[in-house]
Structure 1
Amino acid sequence: MTDKIWRVGIIGCGAISRNHIEAVQAIPGAEVTATCDVDGAKAAETAAKYGIGSSFDSVDEILASGVDIVAVCTPHPTHEAVVLAAAAAGVHILCEKPIAIELDSAQRMIDACESAGVNLGVLFQRRFWPAAQKMKKELVDGSLGRPIMGQCSVVLYRDYSYYTATPWRGTWAADGGGVLMTQAIHYIDLMCWLLGEPIEVFGYTHSFKHGENIEVEDSAVGTVRFASGALATISATTAAEPSLGAQVQIMGTEGATMTILEFPEGTNGRLIVRSEKDTVETTPSHPADLHPNADLSSINGALIPYHTAQIADFIDALNEGREPAITGRDATRALKVLLGVYESAATNKPITLI
């Protein structure tokens, strides 16, 4: 235990900053002391809304303000510059997913933090679902046997305004990809957490619905081979209407399976199937009284408890002198897979992952 109060700065005051601010404000031993955005007025407005003492329009200024930790909530390609600056200043970092849009960039971030002796955590809050924790426990203790097969299915709805309302969204340069990079990465991360190190992928991508508004894919499929010998499939789209949510299923060597479903999007992932030998336990997958197409604000809001759990773990890790539950290195697994799908789709070849 420690009496230290960790001072947290929020860099990037877009929609997801709400999750970080409300999560930190719910954690004993931490407080948000400053906000930062290239739009200084937005930083000031966010600070005033949440009763935060300082706001800045410069990363250097917020790093010099006395913060111990920064939450990086900026667009994907800008993560590296912010993380490198924070590491050089000796400030610990919580970075929104994806860690980067290129593996070389991610590696530079990891190396800089290790050299500086600061913790780097990456937000994959869905690992903190109780159902995900249960699935991981049953894999670790052998209840499912050795995991050999996986399925990741992401069937989501996005309307045109999702892409057109934010100029950088849906571009290769500023978003780094489409449904794989922005939505499916969460569930690919879950699958890699459960199945281990991915070593080969093959895939296809296409834009069936949003091609007039985006450069990137709205749909993708892929196969993944893992170092353990396990095999998995990925299917992902934002062209569904209505949304049917996202699910991850794992099967072990004894034939036992577990399936987690997130529906509506953003809500607590539920264990909907647990089968073993001649026993099958199920819960309703898509209750009739739930509205399928959640808006982005509702999706983000429903995830705040899991942001809180992950950020609380990050604070505990600092107090205990250990790594956080999800490190920068952990975050590269899902990135390798989705970048491999992009390369495979472009070359029509299986891609070996380094």
Structure 2
Amino acid sequence: MTAPYRVGIVGCGAISRNHLEAFAAIPEATVVAVCDVDPDRARETAARWGIPQALGSVEELLAAGVDIVSVCTPHPTHEAVVLAAAAAGVHVLCEKPIAIDLASAERMVAACDAAGVRLGVLFQRRFWPAAQRLRAAVGDGTLGRPILGHASVLLHREPEYYGATPWRGTWATDGGGVLMTQAIHYIDLLQWLMGDVTEIHGHIATFRHDIEVEDTAAAVLRFASGAMATLSASTAATPSLGVGIRITGETGATAELTEFPEGTDGRVTLFARGGTIETEPAHPAGTDPNVDLSTINGQLIPHHTAQIRDFVDALGANGDEGREPAVTGRDATAALRILLAVYESSRTGRPVDLTREGALS
């Protein structure tokens, strides 16, 4: 196609700003409509961003003739929007997590496949230059095949984070706690860097926040390659220590990237190979460790933009058939499967074998 793709945004909450900013920076796409269950919020968003249409339902938005739908609604509502878009032949870019249960995610992937539309899911941290560097170090033999990994997600959330947004902190409307909402990004990075996960043994607990779901989790992961990794995650840290992803490869080399404060670009803070160790401070002095959600989201806009640009490019132009986006619905389903296995293992007290059919059914 030669004209810009027509984009509709579903959900005008906080994260929609990142999508609006991203599409505004991409000449090949233009936002023509927004919708929200709160009509006033849709109208306010449309007025603020100069968008022609503010609508009250997904059906109205799809009838407006959009080519791409960006899904920025609460987790359990993703499936209904994605299935409606697929039925209308519209490509879909969905915020993470793709869903809160595996069957829902699989239905979404199948519906988009059957309709011949692309499904992408936002894991914008893959687009950090530091993450790309680690990926390249695996592929070019500097690290070689990963044998050991670790993800440490030690974040701070005030009680108001859960209390101010009614759908947060419950199994029914949030689907989980720190694993589902925060650590899923780094679970995705681990599988992207280390490959398919085959077995998980984990535990969850709630230590600090007055919520139904977990604020703390720990797990051991085994991969199809034979590699192993550990995962620790919490929103109960005061102050936040941010995130660290560390990979050791079969060459003996180790690399670590750090996201601190939360929402800033990941940085390679350790690279050890041969007889050398290159380091920089993971927690620079004088840095405010606790960052509010609006600031976190704002700092992620460049990486949202990079991923959304990739998604638009993947659709093709001028008759091109296009390609898969960098992060597909299947990738997002794999990340969801891992964290759901942590929940299942914590519930049963036993490891979960993800190679066994029906392991999470």
TM bucket (normalised to shorter chain) is over 0.9
User: Is 1:229 aligned to residue 215 of structure 2?
Assistant: no
Q: 2:266 aligns with which of 265, 269, 282?
A: 269
* Matched residue type, 2:235: T
Correspondences of 1:36-47 after superposition (within 5 Å): 36-47=35-46
Q: Secondary structure at the match of 2:97?
A: coil
Q: Secondary structure at the match of 1:306?
A: helix
Shift of 1:127: 0.0
Counterpart for residue 56 of structure 1: 55
Shift of 1:169: 0.2
Counterpart for residue 173 of structure 1: 172
Aligned mates of 1:265, 1:163 — CA distance in 2: 18
User: Is 1:90 aligned to residue 89 of structure 2?
Assistant: yes
Shift of 1:254: 1.5
Contact 2:34 2:46 in 1 (8 A): yes
Aligned mates of 1:63, 1:8 — CA distance in 2: 10
Aligned mates of 2:194, 2:333 — CA distance in 1: 14
User: Is 1:219 aligned to residue 216 of structure 2?
Assistant: yes
User: Is 1:300 aligned to residue 294 of structure 2?
Assistant: no
* Matched residue type, 1:328: G
Contact 2:255 2:271 in 1 (8 A): yes
Unmatched runs of 5 consecutive residues or more in structure 1: none
Counterpart for residue 246 of structure 1: 243
Counterpart for residue 200 of structure 1: 199
Counterpart for residue 359 of structure 2: none
Q: Secondary structure at the match of 1:316?
A: helix
* Matched residue type, 2:329: G
Shift of 1:51: 0.9
Aligned mates of 2:167, 2:130 — CA distance in 1: 34
Aligned mates of 1:42, 1:144 — CA distance in 2: 49
Q: Secondary structure at the match of 2:204?
A: strand
* Matched residue type, 1:160: P
Shift of 1:3: 2.8
Contact 2:9 2:35 in 1 (8 A): yes
Shift of 1:353: 1.2
TM-score, normalization by structure 2: 0.96
Which range moves more in the overlay, 319-328 or 111-120? Answer: 319-328
Show CA shifts across 1:295-344 (max 9, x none).
00000000000000000000100015111000000111211111000001
Counterpart for residue 358 of structure 2: none
User: Is 1:335 aligned to residue 303 of structure 2?
Assistant: no
Show CA shifts across 1:48-89 (max 9, x none).
111111011110000110110000011101100100000000
* Matched residue type, 1:342: Y
Aligned mates of 1:142, 1:4 — CA distance in 2: 42
User: Is 1:286 aligned to residue 283 of structure 2?
Assistant: yes
* Matched residue type, 2:334: R
Aligned mates of 2:138, 2:27 — CA distance in 1: 32
Counterpart for residue 32 of structure 2: 33
Counterpart for residue 135 of structure 2: 136
Aligned mates of 2:295, 2:131 — CA distance in 1: 21
Show CA shifts across 1:202-242 (max 9, x none).
011101100x2x10000000000011111000000000000
Counterpart for residue 327 of structure 2: 326
Aligned mates of 1:181, 1:73 — CA distance in 2: 16
Unmatched runs of 5 consecutive residues or more in structure 2: 356-361
Q: Secondary structure at the match of 1:172?
A: coil
RMSD across aligned positions (CA): 0.8
Aligned mates of 1:299, 1:196 — CA distance in 2: 28
Aligned mates of 2:61, 2:200 — CA distance in 1: 41
* Matched residue type, 2:95: E
Counterpart for residue 102 of structure 2: 103
Q: How many residue pairs were aligned?
A: 351
* Matched residue type, 1:195: M
Identity %: 65
Shift of 1:289: 2.1
Counterpart for residue 348 of structure 1: 349
Contact 2:142 2:251 in 1 (8 A): no
Contact 2:184 2:335 in 1 (8 A): yes
Q: After the TM superposition, which parts of structure 1 deviate over 3 Å for at least 4 consecutive aligned residues?
A: none
Shift of 1:4: 2.6
Show CA shifts across 1:105-128 (max 9, x none).
100000000000000000000000
Aligned mates of 2:304, 2:231 — CA distance in 1: 25
TM-score, normalization by structure 1: 0.98
Aligned mates of 1:105, 1:32 — CA distance in 2: 27
